[in-house]
Amino acid sequence: MTDHGPSRRRFLQVGALALTAGMAGCSSSAPAAQEGASATTTGPSPYTRVYRETIDSVLLVRTDGRSGTGWVYDGTHAVTNAHVVGETTDVDLRSSDGRWHTGEVVGTDPNSDLAVIETSGLTDAATPLSLAETPATIGQEVVAIGNPFDLDGSVTTGIVSGTDRSIPAPTGLSIPDAIQTDAAVNPGNSGGPLMALDGTVVAVINSGGGDNIAFGISAALARRIVPALIERGEFEHSFVGVALAPVTPAVATANDLDEPRGLLVVDVAPQGPAQGVLRASEEVETVEGERIPAGGDVLLAVDETRTDTAEALGSYLALETRPGDTVSLSILRDGTERTVELELEARPTRPSTD
């Protein structure tokens, strides 16, 4: 969650997840690209099979001063990251056979870091890759295919290290339901597919943050957003209009709660959907020398889905709701549990709360 102004920022910074992950898909300078990619194997490696079956569908994406990776989504569209294409409308694409193609950016969503490129002239071998239908599982083997440092068709392997992560978007907000992997990701990989061994895309690679830590936008989120980018060029995200803090033991003590659970409403956006529905903290208590917001509603569940973490709330809103939907919020107010109804709105261009 992000803040709506200086006061909100102060509250949110206390409970914010500090991520050192840097955007990994923009390679500003790199060695000369290889003319195609070769694959040799001495045995029936499952990684070799995935590579051979999908490499023709993985593209190098180049704009002025940067490059990344994309992959064929359907007969005329490819998917990459919004931060790879930036504000550019025209890009160059290079397929595994070494041929260059032109592409037009037809939709971007910086809030999810996804973009769609329209192109033509790809070979019949560049068959669409399918987004995984089932959620990624921790420990699942995965293959990252991309163009780190313009090294065409490079492959790294690993496992799914975590699910339901919250990672930074180019807008400064958070991307929910993200996938964490220990497969190596480097500058130039962003926008590429993180593949299951059955050849489906479990995530769109987004960033790498250090040794054995990388992230991607989940297949479930991409499945909701990419069709809208193709059809309308943009995607509307659900917006509640609150700033939240996790209820830690200290927050529970400051708010006279029986146990630490849920999310404390520390601010409500003016004229947002939560105004008049949810109450924000207006007091500050000191617990063991720490100043803690107090007095606001505690959000326990949305449509009976528990919201003990901001990640759980973000994933539910992103995957299960749309602007205009009415959701039931289970809250604690003045020590009493109750249910209130809230109609979601579309997230403003530069919101400060979720």
Up-side HSE of residue 263: CA atoms within 13 Å toward CB? 28
Counting every residue written for the chain, the total comes to: 354
Read off the DSSP letter of residue 281: P
What is the rounded CA–CA span in Å between residue 147 and residue 153?
A: 6
Please report which residue ranges of the chain form alpha helices under DSSP H: 6-15, 46-54, 82-85, 219-232, 249-254, 310-320
Start-to-end CA span in the chain (Å): 6
CA 250 to chain centre: 30
Active-site residue, from 57, 161, 174, 190 = 190
Catalytic residue flag (residue 83): yes
Tokens representing 110 are 């910086």
Place of tokens 């070769």: 38
Residues 6+ positions from 70 with CB-CB distance below 8 Å: 58, 59, 60, 61, 78, 79, 80, 84, 93, 117, 191, 192
Is 150 in a helix, a strand, or coil?
helix
Candidates 265, 250, 251, 254; CA nearest to 298 is 265
Residue 261, judged by CB atoms within 10 A of its CB (0-12, 13-18, 19+), counts as: middle
Read off the DSSP letter of residue 236: P
Catalytic residue flag (residue 190): yes
The DSSP code sequence of 9-74 is: HHHHHHH------EE-S--SS-PPPPSS-----SS--HHHHHHHHHGGGEEEEEETTEEEEEEE-S
Active-site residue, from 83, 96, 101, 150 = 83
Active-site residue, from 56, 113, 177, 354 = 113
Up-side HSE of residue 200: CA atoms within 13 Å toward CB? 15
What positions carry a catalytic annotation? Answer: 83, 113, 190
